[in-house]
Structure 1
């Protein structure tokens, strides 16, 4: 959450106080977005090798110092500083998820990740309002100073509060019993291999709400006030709904919950086929928000539960990168299609959401059959062991995780 507010105002900052043209500002914003995605994909690797606490502390401090420097740097230096700030922010996101997955026992991870997302949603609800107030009344520079101080404070808090023991050890250490690479571990977990591309697809669909959806509203006579109200509903409902849902559904099949969530996201865009109006837009946002509350926390916890100890960070990085891929892909893909054939965008979004949800539900059904042993000669795939006392290495026999 640390860089989210300043990143939301980056384009305005570059075209306003910094005096860049729209083209240059777009290139710099795009490169910074790529840095964010790259940080998510690689942050877990650092944690597996150097410790998740150490990586979180280092990335938060580096991100904070970079943000603090932004107001004082020449404009040309921003082409290095902003991508670096976003890269360290992505690294920070992946390492914090891996740290939670390492410290929190498997049965409580959904609640833990839901609590993290509640804090993030609270920041998303209040941050843009406060950011706009600071930028317009004072200066954009104060956004970067405030967030830089916040990131440095997170590094300080991590150093003081998070215990160094049990916060992620080096891969292959005796405590972790590291064995095999991450791709070997993924091949042993086919449900995760289905889930990750489904998350990429749904994230491209989900993030149309930030690109083509407001254009669609404007094209049908609804101004920015309607769009802002819908986003506020999204943040507020998530803040109230996500943690209670995680508690209520903690004993339910995670893959089925994720699958239903993906179907709801696709169904939200399908509602737009009924017509353009405030009512259909509100129903669309309600379905989208409910789907998000179901799938995001549950999918994060499921990947953590499936990860072997020595690759927990890399599993979290794969999920974190997949779950934010729409930041780079959704606007150019959706924008190009909306410009070329606007009537086909929402049916395609609904179809892709349905296919992603169906794929995850099918993998849940396959896993259920494997656990019950239905079907003669059906092969089963080894699943990760729960942590044990003692050496923590994999034994000769493995039990399936529910």
Structure 2
């Protein structure tokens, strides 16, 4: 894949760390089960603690870029990893009262790390190569997450929950040490920080100048509420229609497998295409997936839904991240990335209560509503891509060297 040669060494090093970090980041997968089985808490208590943690994670995504623009994204990544690692290590010995404090703090730190990762890629890679770079990062994260949860299950089954937290916490601290060692304190990352420190209009003033970014953020916010129903109400609906947990597990395996197979090739194949059209098409596919479920929940429709949802995810997630980075002025790059990171995980907090409430009142309405919301969000982004604001491609910048040939090329229209 020739396009991958243009991805800077720093991004490859960061992706390697991302892979390792996701392999050991299995605590949150089993945290609810640990609280109910390992600690003997009620479902209500465990739900409250987990919910507060989710709020902390989303808040970290929204604010990590603000800290990075002021203090440096590398520094935020290092401090966030240290705080998160120590917090996870302490979980087995925390008294009940501190379970309401330390896990949310750890997840807040993890959210800051996620925002810092995005900002580091954005300031390291020039416009024209960011789609490939973000695709590499997502591939590494997804590959790590494919390996991690089964390893966590083995630790629980053959050792104990305590070792689950020890391995996760120590692994996060090892990642912090690795990042400190391999990420440059000078060069591209430092240059990005220097540009961030330059005076300029505030983030909201810059957003008002870029209405397509606001449109995209709103569309991603809506779509994430819909997208994450696969982790909230989907397993409930499958069970209601006689499809057991094993079927749900295979559906998630389809999602992960297709992403690992197709996301990098898709990013490379489409890197010169107008981003808002790709993103809009991806959001429409997410809506189409839930529209299939609206016909009826069965094994065939569930598989079709997951395939459409996964193809939509492949089309919209990486180009959307790169588009926001390409649109961001240097002095607010971290804040733009933080806004995108925050809205792209907002469903972690909102999808379950909103989807669950609708499913409780009118089960037959949930999937049609999801289909309409995601489809409408996609159509809005497609319409924005036909206007002037969608002309920045996120692929190859005007007047910049082509990442493969080194020649100057024209920017593709939006």
TM-score (ref. length: structure 2): 0.87
In structure 2, distance between residues paired with 1:193 and 1:61: 33
| Deviating 4+ runs (over 4 angstroms) | 1-4, 168-171, 173-176, 368-371, 384-387, 399-402
In structure 2, distance between residues paired with 1:178 and 1:170: 13
1:233 aligns with 2:254: yes
Quote the residue 1:215 is aligned against: 236
The Cα of 1:93 is off from its aligned counterpart by 0.2
In structure 2, distance between residues paired with 1:351 and 1:48: 37
In structure 2, distance between residues paired with 1:145 and 1:287: 38
The Cα of 1:400 is off from its aligned counterpart by 11
Quote the residue 1:323 is aligned against: 344
Q: Which of 289, 305, 317 is the matching residue for 2:326? A: 305
In structure 1, distance between residues paired with 2:399 and 2:238: 48
Q: 1:102 to 1:386 in 2, by over 3 A?
A: farther
In structure 2, distance between residues paired with 1:72 and 1:176: 41
The Cα of 1:18 is off from its aligned counterpart by 1.1
The Cα of 1:55 is off from its aligned counterpart by 0.8
Quote the residue 1:391 is aligned against: none
1:26 aligns with 2:53: no
**Structure 1 unaligned residues grouped into runs of 5+:** 372-383, 388-398
Contact 2:59 2:108 in 1 (8 A): yes
1:287 aligns with 2:308: yes
Select between 72-81 and 197-206 the one with higher mean Cα deviation.
Answer: 72-81
Select between 174-183 and 60-69 the one with higher mean Cα deviation.
Answer: 174-183
Contact 2:274 2:412 in 1 (8 A): no
Q: Which of 364, 373, 391 is the matching residue for 2:385? A: 364
Contact 2:124 2:192 in 1 (8 A): no
Q: 1:151 to 1:370 in 2, by over 3 A?
A: closer
1:138 aligns with 2:168: no
TM-score (ref. length: structure 1): 0.90
Quote the residue 2:13 is aligned against: none
Contact 1:169 1:176 in 2 (8 A): no
Q: 1:174 to 1:35 in 2, by over 3 A?
A: closer
Contact 2:196 2:332 in 1 (8 A): no
The Cα of 1:124 is off from its aligned counterpart by 2.2
Quote the residue 1:105 is aligned against: 126
In structure 2, distance between residues paired with 1:137 and 1:248: 44
Residues 153-191 of structure 1 show CA distances to partners (whole Å, capped at 9, x for unaligned) of: 1111111111112325687x5676331100011011110
The Cα of 1:137 is off from its aligned counterpart by 1.9
Q: Which of 124, 143, 146 is the matching residue for 1:125? A: 146
1:63 aligns with 2:79: no
| Paired residue total | 379
Secondary structure of the residue aligned to 1:107 is: coil
Q: Which of 163, 178, 182 is the matching residue for 2:184? A: 163
Report the RMSD for the aligned CA atoms in angstroms.
2.2
**Structure 2 unaligned residues grouped into runs of 5+:** 1-20, 401-410
